[in-house]
Amino acid sequence: MFKKILIANRGEIACRVIKTARQMAIATVAVYSDADRDALHVEMADEAIHIGPAPASESYLVADNIIAACKQSGAEAVHPGYGFLSERASFCEALESQGIVFIGPKPKAIRAMGDKIESKKFANAAKVSTVPGYLGVIEDADHAEKIAGEIGYPVMIKASAGGGGKGMRIAWSEADVRDGFDRARSEAQNSFGDNRVFIEKFIVDPRHIEIQVLADAHGNVVYLGERECSIQRRNQKVVEEAPSPFLDEKTRKAMGEQSVALASAVEYQSAGTVEFIVDADRNFYFLEMNTRLQVEHPVTELVTGIDLVEHMIRIAAGEKLAFAQKDIALNGWAVESRLYAEDPYRNFLPSIGRLTRYRPPQEGKFGSHVIRNDTGVFEGAEISMYYDPMLAKLCTWAPTRIEAIDGMGQALDGFVVDGIEHNVPFLAALMKHPRWREGRLSTAFIAEEYPDGFKPMTPDGQQTAALSAIAISATLIEANRRERYADRLRPAALPLPEDWIVKLGTNNYIPARLLEGLATIPFEMDIDISGTKLNVVTDWRPGDVIWRGAVSGIPITAQVRPFLNGLRLDWQGLSVKTRVFTPRQAELDRLMPIKLAPDTSSLLLCPMPGLVVAIAVIEGQEVKAGETLAVVEAMKMENVLRAERDLTVGKINARKGESLAVDAVIMEFA
Ligand code: ADP
Ligand code: ADP
Ligand code: MG
């Protein structure tokens, strides 16, 4: 076994690999860029080596710097994680030529599977069922139109070198194909430096289901069941689970065996994933093989009890697989949520800044439930624009799917993140979504269920009652604390009023009557809210962000943050401002004028902190709805800002190359 390995990555995946290496008593070497001097993976590793400036192209992607770091530290092997150099055959070869082991497959398998056209040809030869289409490079728009006609609409135009959900386009008609072909080709050239595109049938409303395989250097290959990753936004995975609620034993076995056949055909070794899309009739079609550890690998680990990183390391060291196919069983259910630094209310635009508060739920086994959180950040850390905006992968395991989902809901409710915008509200709302809970999924789920994006939600009746109860409990506990200051001059408090009005949001007034209350910690009260009797128990103390307790026996975890004279409550994806009034206060409050939000419809505001890449219009220009006004770059992504209606450009305030803060006025409309 190796004595020391280097992890050529950063963030959560570097931390995750270090954890397993430590358990195996292998010393670890981290590498870091200028932006990552204080990163968690650097802290966790036994040693750390600086490899260059912040941009990945000058640090994490420079193979020579990684090799130099191996030499300097004496690392015998390199784990590449995912992304960065993980799927570069030339990197494996460079390592091999220096006598350093690559913890992953051999260059031949990476090459064969790294190109979508080549891998489909390979899969066909190995009798794996592939998406119907044309197995070659499309030469020009005429060729594209001819092929698309033969396949039958709709079709998908895909970059052969594509990855990360980029470089693909759907076409429903000849006109779409012509337009899509040109765009897909230039996109492929710009993103991957390779303009080859191909065309395949677009499978409408499919599910994304993938098979995890593990293969050693001695010809043993097994599959570790599947993961379903149908909850995607723009072809990128957001929530994953294992097993899939859709597969039956027969389909699972067929997909597993085809995956093993493909892995054997490419002489695969290490952990790998064979991705399929599955239609409503459980016909499955090969998409691609990812020759690396997958982001969502923890859900497989949770249902199989097998540590994939451990086996990648063992296989790389030449060990034989310690188990056969018959030894692998799927146990219970696991769900993973990807937490991103992005604003769900602003079309998921990236958000950067300092994590002023970052408190994930406690990991471990609680009764029959498990919580696991793979993270690479910490309270006080800076989320920069240089790398992937993923903060953490929160996973829950339970004996059944619905328990794992409810466990995820609770864990998200208790996940505290302040300082940046993040997608926890979206994920928490999703866990309550009936269609997700029923497992009626397709890759179009988010687009179909949130056609206008994710909007702040209004609480239903039960949620309203629970939120009111939480607000009153916190108010009474705070009042009790104030009464107990030792050096108070006023006499002891008068009995608490019985009647309350809770104001939720801007104009929802909920009457409540305290039936019985004990102002102690733990706190307990019986309360009537709009005619419903509730019992509330909590051990919340003033200042706590997390409110944990039970409303009529149902456990609740919510978050409480003070604002002006009230409390903002975050729960189940809701974010509600609450004020607790006496009836007289409520009466007066209703008379207060409501402050209207300023009208910004005649302004183009910068949606996130970023760099102006282009101003596409000039002052006085008439623009049609949908036309590009400006392009702003943030987190390595170009965000095109388009006109929402027909308009005339007025004064332009921002210039190309300028760095702007969020909500800065880019231009005014006449
Ligand atoms: P990437 O390398 O970017 O991961 P994939 O080929 O794995 O590309 O596709 C990513 C996602 O795009 C899939 O999970 C699926 O949602 C969608 N997709 C890809 N090909 C098709 C297709 N032929 N029909 C329908 N959806 C597809
Ligand atoms: P997974 O199926 O493991 O979730 P993804 O397609 O989401 O795989 O990619 C995982 C990571 O690898 C992401 O951070 C993504 O940005 C990166 N990635 C994958 N393929 C490419 C590629 N061809 N170019 C750039 N980044 C990629
Ligand atoms: Mg994929």
Tell me how far apart the alpha carbons of residues 279 and 128 are, in angstroms, rounded to a whole number.
16
| Ligand 2 mutation pick, 12, 60, 82, max ligand atoms within 8 A of CB | 82
pLDDT of residue 519: 63
* CB-defined site of ligand 2, < 6 Å: 82-83, 163-165, 236-237, 290, 294-296, 388
Q: Give 438's strand partners.
A: none
- CA distances, 69 to each of 28, 48, 58, 89, 450 (Å): 12, 9, 14, 19, 46
Cβ-defined contacts of 581-589 (< 8 Å, 24+): 581/500, 581/501, 581/502, 581/503, 582/497, 582/499, 582/500, 582/501, 583/499, 583/500, 583/501, 585/501, 586/501, 586/503, 586/509, 589/503
Instruction: Give the end-to-end CA distance of the chain in Å, rounded to a whole number.
Output: 70
User: Which of these, 327, 329, 321, 230, lies nearest to 271 by C-alpha position?
Assistant: 321
Quick one: which atom of ligand 2 is closest to the CA of 164?
6
Residue 59, token pair as written in the block: 């640090």
Report how far ligand 1's centroid is from the alpha carbon of 241 (Å): 18
Say if ligand 1 is within 6 A of residue 184 CB. Answer: no
- In terms of C-beta density within 10 A (0-12 exposed, 13-18 middle, 19 or more buried), how is residue 401 classed? middle
pLDDT at 392 over 90: yes
Q: Which residues contact 253 (CB under 8 A, 6 or more apart)?
A: none
Q: How many CA atoms lie less than 13 Å away from 195 in the CB half-sphere?
A: 9
Cβ contacts of 169 within 8 Å, gap of 6 or more: 156, 157, 158, 180, 183, 184
pLDDT tens per residue across span 291-334:
999 999 999 999 999 999 999 999 999 999 999 999 999 999 99
277 CB near ligand 1 (under 6 Å): yes
State how far the Cα of 537 lies from the Cα of 525, in Å rounded to an integer: 7
Sheet with 333-340, edge to edge strand ranges: 284-290, 270-278, 207-215, 221-233, 236-242, 333-340, 390-398, 369-375, 364-366
Burial track 470-508 (b if 16+ CB lie within 10 A, e otherwise) = bbbbbbbbbebeeeeeeeeeeeeeeeeeeebbbbbbeee
Ligand nearest to the CA of 232: 1
Chain segment 442-464, per-residue pLDDT in tens: 999 999 999 999 999 999 999 99
Cα–Cα separations (whole angstroms), residue 369 to 304, 402, 404: 15, 12, 8
The DSSP annotation for 521-536 comes to SSEEEEEEETTEEEEE
The pair of structure tokens assigned to 358 is 């970052």
CA of 207 from ligand 1 middle (Å) equals 10
Ligand closest to CA 286: 1
**Catalytic status, residue 288:** yes
**Rounded CA gap, 435 and 450, in Å?**
12
Model confidence pLDDT, tens digit, residues 71-104: 999 999 999 999 999 999 999 999 999 999 999 9
Distance CA 203, CA 230 (A): 13
Residue 583: CB atoms within 10 Å: 12
**Residues facing residue 669 across a β-bridge:** 649
236 lines ligand 1 (CB under 6 A): no
Using a 6 Å cutoff on CB, does residue 206 contact ligand 1? yes
4-7 vs 27-33, strand pairing mode: parallel
Give the pLDDT of residue 636.
65
Report the candidate in 326, 325, 222, 328 with the shortest Cα–Cα distance to residue 269. 222
CA of 494 to the centre of ligand 3 (A): 65
Mutate to test the pocket of ligand 1, among 169, 233, 235 (most ligand atoms within 8 A of CB): 235
Residues 29-42: pLDDT tens digits? 999 999 999 999 99
Who's near 463: CB < 8 A, 6+ residues apart? 571, 572, 574
The DSSP line for 86-131 is TT-HHHHHHHHHTT-EESS--HHHHHHHHSHHHHHHHHHHTT--B-
Give CA–CA dist 211/228, Å, rounded.
9
Q: Which of 91, 287, 295 to mutate to test the pocket of ligand 2 (most atoms within 8 A of CB)?
A: 295
Ligand 2 pocket test, pick from 239, 289, 290 with the greatest ligand atom count within 8 Å of Cβ, gives 290
| pLDDT at 598 (0 to 100) | 81
Residue nearest to atom 23 of ligand 2 (CA): 163
Q: Which has more confidence, 386 or 70? A: 70
pLDDT in tens, 620-637: 999 998 889 999 987 667
By the 10 Å C-beta count (0-12 exposed, 13-18 middle, 19+ buried), 434 is classed as exposed
CA distance 571 to 539: 17
**Residue 423 exposed, middle or buried by CB count within 10 Å (0-12, 13-18, 19+):** buried
Structure-token pair, residue 241: 């689970």
Question: How much distance in Å is there from the Cα of 288 to the middle of ligand 2?
Answer: 12
Q: Is the CB of 208 under 6 A from ligand 1?
A: yes
**Arithmetic mean of pLDDT, 142-157:** 95
Residue nearest to ligand 1 atom 17, measured at CA: 235
Q: Which ligand is nearest to the CA of 165?
A: 1
Mean pLDDT computed over 374-382: 96
Task: Look at the alpha carbons of 14, 15, 17, 22 in this order and tell me if their dihedral is positive or negative.
Answer: positive
Is 288 touching ligand 1 by the criterion CB < 6 Å? Answer: yes
Q: Which atom of ligand 1 is nearest to the CA of 200?
A: 23
Q: Is 291 in the pocket of ligand 1 (CB under 6 A)?
A: no
Using CA atoms, how far residue 119 sits from 67, 126, 229, 311, in Å, is 29, 10, 21, 25
Q: Above 90 in pLDDT, residue 365?
A: yes
Would the CB of 203 count as within 6 Å of ligand 1?
A: yes
**Closest Cα to atom 14, ligand 1: which residue?**
208
Condensed to tens digits (0 to 9), the pLDDT of residues 580-601 reads 999 999 999 999 988 888 888 8
Mean pLDDT for all residues in the chain:
94
Domains and CATH numbers, the chain: 4-103 (3.40.50.20), 132-201 (3.30.1490.20), 207-449 (3.30.470.20), 461-484+495-589 (3.30.700.30), 603-669 (2.40.50.100)
For residue 310, give the amino acid letter. E
Taking the complete model, does pTM exceed 0.85, yes or no?
yes
Count of alpha carbons within 13 Å of 233, Cβ hemisphere only? Answer: 20
CA of 237 to the centre of ligand 2 (A): 10
The residue type found at 204 is: V
For helices 89-97 and 107-114, give the axis angle rounded to 10 degrees: 170
Which residue in the list 288, 296, 336, 421 is annotated as catalytic?
A: 288
Candidate from 213-217, 332-336, 348-352 with smallest mean pLDDT:
348-352
Contact predicate 504/576, CB 8 Å = yes
Whether the Cβ atoms of residue 294 and residue 242 lie closer than 8 Å to each other: no
Please tell me the distance between residue 404's alpha carbon and the centre of ligand 3 in angstroms. 25
SS (H, E, C) 337-390: EEEECEEHHHCCEECCEECCEEECCCCEEECCEEEEEEECCCCCCEECCCCCCE
What tokens appear for 659 in the block?
A: 């760095």
Return the residue whose CA atom lies nearest to atom 9 of ligand 2. Answer: 164
Q: Atom of ligand 1 at shortest distance to CA of 131? A: 23
Q: Which of 273, 277, 426 is nearest to 343 (CA)?
A: 426
- Centroid of ligand 1 to alpha carbon of 165 (angstroms): 7
